[in-house]
Structure 1
Amino acid sequence: MSHDWYSLDELAQQLGRDRREIEKLVQRGRIPGRKIGGEWQFHPTEVTHWLEQEMREYTDRELVVVEQTHRSHEVRESEPVASLLRLEAVQVPLEARTKRSVLEGLVEAAGRTWQIWQPAVLLNAVQEREAVMSTAFENGVAIPHPRNPLPEALGESIIAFGRTLSGIPFGGPNRGLTDLFFLVLCRDSRTHLQVLARLGRMIQQPQFLDDLRAAEDSQAAYQIICDADRSLPR
């Protein structure tokens, strides 16, 4: 498989979907691609960005497919979020009242793992991603992350979590406020997509967000996240 471009068959394999279905979506302009020498070709980075946005509307079953087709050696298959989240990277409450201070606080929390080698670079990358389009959902959750992996800026892939004392403007749909933040810093796109899919499944679970908002401290929030990750069926 080419490291630079996917063919139509390779893209269908990567997405875990039928080739004919993918071809129809491409022809309708739903998936970014271009014809080179008469054959459809797809750039992995463009596919990743497209899939990020598509996953926001995916059902649990569809997110499971993304998880299964983007398995990474960096995470445990049964608990990909818990394997990248450490207690020292959880901050409850997160003392922040603006979007910038939230991102600064999350990068600082991630830095307590000693795996952040270039915090300024990562912070800038996350801010640039937010400037393109907010990572906030309508349920008060945001999942900030760099637009592209930055393996030279961190030792291992890391997730950090923070909950602010009250909701803040973060660019959510219909100007909704956001108070739950998962910072995702991955060294490669496969890990990134697997983690995003898993988090997408977790925030769809009944009681998960309510339990996080009721957590008294960082330890309690950490345990809630890990338990929710482990309880999801494969």
Structure 2
Amino acid sequence: MRNCYDFGLDTHPRFCILSKPVYESLIFCSLIPNEDGLMPHDEIMTSREVADYLKLNARTVTQLAASGRLPAMKLGGRWRFKRSFLEKWLEQGLVEGFAHEVGLIETHEASADCTVASLIPDNGIVLPLEPGDAQDVVSQLVNVGVEHQFVTNAPILVDAIMEREETFSTALPSGVALPHPRFRMARVLRQPFIAVGVSPAGIEYGAPDGSLTHIFFLMCLRTDALHLRALARISHMARSDAFIERLKTCDESDTIRQCIIDEEQQIFGN
């Protein structure tokens, strides 16, 4: 069995075929302690764990894996999944149109009352972002949480987000990026929040098509359920070129917030 997975290695996304030896070697490498003697921040997941993570039926997970639509490998007769591959599949799929395969994320009852707009605190929109590199952008957005005393250790959070970006960039071809730590980082977050940054001129952030990124949604959330709901909603909204253009041309934070509220209301009804 071979599985397809888009690594975005070129300026135009392409599918890579993972043979059994290649996938096994990737999994093996993920289980080797680093130079500090610690396990790397990646996780090998079972079908049941993936089902719980995506809020899908376990049978649906195995069907997606068997059909090659979910990055996976059979080891010892059982499906195994690398979390970093799974996250990239999820983010890309929600934007590129196979969100129906993870459609239950949006309606998961554990976070049904939380909207993207409600997670953006007062003064949670940075307009405009100061020019700089990816870490400069992340630091500016993390400062939103610091100013509200939501974040107890900013350097650790910034490092975790940048580690996630180095694995796979969260920049999308639409000009939107969704920076977030790979794990929920509850130990450094007193309260979940989303910070929004807008760069009218654009910033190089590793988009797969080489384009500049203008809109940043920093997601610092404490649970997988809330993270997946926010990810699904933002990715869905990011499909609208008109919505992105409105955000890029807004000259006030309150206007950006209202655009997000209006778009959520139009798409999701709340």
Structure 2 length as normaliser, TM-score?
A: 0.71
Give 1:199's aligned amino acid: I
AA matched with 2:165: E
1:25 matched to which residue of 2?
64
Which SS does the other structure have where 1:88 is aligned? coil
Aligned-partner residue type, residue 154 of structure 1: L
Q: Deviations over 1:159-213 (max 9, x none)?
A: 0001114112110022111111110011121111111001011112352111111
Q: Cα distance 1:13–1:137, how it changes in 2: closer, same or farther (>3 A)?
A: closer
Indicate how the Cα distance of structure 1 residues 59 and 25 shifts in structure 2: closer, same or farther if over 3 A, else same: closer
**Match in the other structure for 1:51:** 90
Give me the whole-angstrom Cα distance separating, in 2, the residues matched to 1:176 and 1:95.
18
Aligned match of 1:194: 229
The answer (yes or no) to whether the contact 2:110–2:225 under 8 Å persists in 1 is yes
Matches within 5 A, 1:75-94: 77=112, 79-94=114-129
Aligned to 1:72: 110
Counterpart pick for 1:113 among 139, 148, 153: 148
Distance 1:192 1:10 in 2: 15
Kindly state the Cα deviation for residue 109 of structure 1 after the two structures are TM-superposed: 2.2
2:184 is aligned, of 149, 164, 178, to 149
Q: Which among 51, 75, 79 is matched to residue 11 of structure 1?
A: 51
Using the TM superposition, give the Cα deviation of residue 64 of structure 1 relative to its aligned residue in structure 2, in angstroms. 4.2
Q: 1:170 is matched with which residue?
A: 205
Q: Determine the C-alpha separation between the residues in 2 that align with 1:9 and 1:100.
A: 32
Task: Work out whether residues 15 and 66 of structure 1, in 8 Å CA contact, stay in contact via their aligned partners in 2.
Answer: yes
The higher-RCO structure (CA 8 Å, 6+ apart) is 1
Unmatched 5+ stretches in structure 2: 1-43
Is 2:221 aligned against 1:183? no
Displacement of 1:96 in angstroms is 2.2
Which shifted more, 180-189 or 24-33? 24-33
The alignment covers a number of residue pairs equal to 225
Computed over aligned residues only, the root mean square deviation of the Cα atoms, in angstroms, reads: 3.0
SS at match of 1:183: strand
Q: What is the aligned-residue identity percentage?
A: 29
Q: 1:101 aligns with which of 136, 140, 143?
A: 136
Q: Is 1:84–1:159's contact at 8 Å kept on the other side of the alignment?
A: yes
**Equivalence map 1:221-232=2 (5 Å):** 221-232=256-267
SS in structure 2 at match of 1:198: helix
Q: 2:103 and 2:121 mapped to 1: Cα distance?
A: 24
Is the Cα–Cα contact under 8 Å of residues 200 and 249 in structure 2 kept in the other structure? no
Contact 1:140 1:177 in 2 (8 A): yes
Q: 1:12/1:102 Cα in 2 relative to 1: closer, same or farther (>3 Å)?
A: closer
Q: Aligned equivalents of 2:95 and 2:49: distance in 1?
A: 24
